Amino acid sequence: MSAGKRSNEPIVWFLFGTGGFFAAFFLPVHVLFYGLLFPTGLVHAPSYQETLALVRHPLARIYLFALLTFCFFHAAHRMRLTLSDVLNLRHLNTVLAFLCYGGALVGTAFTVWLLMTV
For residues 107 and 90, give the distance between their C-alpha atoms in angstroms, rounded to a whole number: 24
Q: Could you say whether residue 98 binds other proteins (CB under 8 A)? A: no
Minimum distance of other proteins from residue 42's CB (angstroms): 11
Helix (H) / strand (E) containing 14: helix 9-30
- Judged by beta carbon, residue 55 or residue 92, the one nearer other proteins is 55
Q: Could you say whether residue 10 binds other proteins (CB under 8 A)? A: yes
Residue 18, number of CB atoms within 10 A of its CB? 16
Q: Could you say whether residue 86 binds other proteins (CB under 8 A)? A: yes
Q: Could you say whether residue 95 binds other proteins (CB under 8 A)? A: no
Burial class (CB in 10 A: 0-12, 13-18, 19+), 100: buried
CA distances from 107 to 4, 53, 69, 72 (A): 33, 23, 7, 7
Minimum distance of other proteins from residue 94's CB (angstroms): 12
Which residues in this chain contact other proteins in the complex, by CB under 8 A? Answer: 1-11, 13-14, 17, 19-21, 23-36, 38-40, 43, 45-46, 48-52, 54-55, 60, 64, 68, 71-72, 74-79, 81-82, 85-86, 88, 90, 103, 107, 110-111, 114-115, 117-118
